[in-house]
Amino acid sequence: MTIRKQRELSYKKNRLLDEFQKVAMNAEVQNEFLSDSEHFKVLILDDELKKGKLIEDRIKGVKNCSTFVCVSEYSALKLLKEENFNLIIIDVELKNFDGLDFGRSIRTLIRANIPIMFFSSNPSRQVDYYLECPENSCFVEKLFEGSEFQDKFLEMIDAATNIKQADYAA
């Protein structure tokens, strides 16, 4: 990688961290219990729009919910400022930022325990995930084969529901 490319990526990463700070200062996590009649809100972050839309289709086949597909970290941060999500699905291998770092930053800066589903088709990234093992999250390797995605998605919906119920009871 050239020095120019490294500087470019460093600049983009710093801008993204600045955006995280803005989100953290503006974000208010609602602690309301969602009734069955209300939709879950799911944020999908994948730098490939086609894959993001495929994930959206898989989700809508499992659960009736509102989905928002973002192809950049910046658009995801903008939506995080505007909406309260119940679940975030993140591609681990994003262009400008590592997906695991992005998820961890969301948790740290916004101080929200939003369930996060990470995914990657690269098996070595699964090892990275299990070494770091963010709380209240899961990793899916095969998004479009078998029932692994649907099973994990339903587990994450249960986790989101349990968080909201615990907050509501408190």
Q: Is the pLDDT of residue 163 over 90?
A: no
- CATH code at 99? 3.40.50.2300
Classify the C-alpha dihedral 162-165-169-170 as positive or negative: positive
pLDDT at position 43:
93
Indicate whether this model's pTM tops 0.85.
no
Q: Could you give the number of structural domains in the chain?
A: 1
Share of the chain above pLDDT 70, in %: 68
- The gap from C-alpha 3 to its chain's centroid, in whole angstroms, comes to 31
> With the CA atoms of 97, 103, 109 and 114 taken in that order, what torsion angle do they form, in degrees rounded to the nearest 10?
160
Q: Which residues contact 53 (CB under 8 A, 6 or more apart)?
A: 69
3-state DSSP call for residue 109? helix
pLDDT at position 33:
36
Instruction: State which residues form the domain around 23.
Output: 3-29+38-169
Give the pLDDT confidence of 50-60 residue by residue, as tens digits. Answer: 989 988 888 88
